């Protein structure tokens, strides 16, 4: 199936596949966040990805994409803006004030929500390979790079006398 055909109205099986794919892809990211005990976990990421796919599919299924060339772009721009507010709420809820210093937290969780939205866009457009790769790459970044950061921080904080 060519990329052009992906943006034409699909039959109900393809729509169902795309929506389920969005749920699974968001769930992959949400599972990682859940196991790391983050406030925005499994359900949040699944819902963000599903909602995004629904919005993208709505513009495809109604024929808006075929009648106005930039309609999908406008839908995606709106999604990104809306998810940005959701991510800002995550950052705000995780930020702490302690001993006179402001410590911003939740940036990675906000970014994960944003990526879940992008995965929903990919799934809604029928780009399952890109969505699957994106989900796997995100988990590798969230898990693997966190381990690397931990090692780097440990080596920075070692007492020079211990070496």
**149 within a domain of the structure (yes/no):** yes
- Alpha-carbon distance of 131 to 121, in angstroms, equals 8
- The pLDDT, as a whole number, for residue 154 is 84
**106 within a domain of the structure (yes/no):** yes
What 3 state SS string does 33-48 have? HHHCCCCCCHHHHHHH
pLDDT in tens, 51-77: 999 999 999 999 888 888 799 999 999
**104 within a domain of the structure (yes/no):** yes
Q: In this structure, are residues 119 and 130 in contact, taking their beta carbons and an 8 Å threshold?
A: no
pLDDT in tens, 102-160: 677 888 999 999 999 999 999 999 999 999 999 999 999 999 898 888 888 888 777 55
**116 within a domain of the structure (yes/no):** yes
* Triad 91, 150, 100: Cα angle to 5°: 45
pLDDT in tens, 33-42: 999 888 889 9
pLDDT in tens, 73-100: 999 999 999 998 888 887 776 665 555 5
Top pLDDT among 45 and 4 is at 45
How many domains does the chain fold into? 1
**162 within a domain of the structure (yes/no):** no
- The pLDDT, as a whole number, for residue 147 is 87
Q: Long-range CB contacts (< 8 A, 24+ apart) of 13-21?
A: 14/126, 15/57, 15/61, 17/128, 18/53, 18/57, 18/123, 18/124, 18/126, 18/128, 19/50, 19/53, 19/54, 19/57, 19/123, 21/53, 21/123, 21/128, 21/131
**72 within a domain of the structure (yes/no):** yes
State the residue range of the domain holding 117: 7-157
pLDDT band for position 9 (cuts 50, 70, 90): confident
């Amino acid at each position: 199936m060519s990329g052009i055909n992906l943006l034409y109205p699909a039959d109900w099986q393809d729509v169902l596949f795309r929506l389920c794919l969005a749920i699974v892809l968001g769930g992959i990211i949400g599972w990682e966040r859940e196991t790391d005990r983050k406030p925005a976990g499994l359900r949040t990421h699944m819902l963000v990805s599903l909602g995004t796919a629904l919005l993208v599919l709505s513009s495809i299924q109604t024929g808006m994409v075929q009648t106005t060339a930039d309609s999908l772009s406008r839908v995606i721009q709106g999604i990104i803006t809306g998810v940005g507010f959701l991510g800002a709420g995550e950052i705000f809820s995780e930020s702490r004030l302690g001993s006179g210093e402001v410590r911003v937290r939740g940036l990675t969780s906000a970014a994960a929500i944003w990526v879940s939205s992008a995965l929903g866009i990919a799934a809604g457009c029928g780009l399952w390979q890109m969505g699957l790769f994106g989900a796997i790459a995100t988990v590798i970044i969230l898990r693997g790079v966190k381990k690397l950061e931990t090692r780097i921080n440990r080596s920075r904080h070692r007492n020079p006398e211990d070496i």
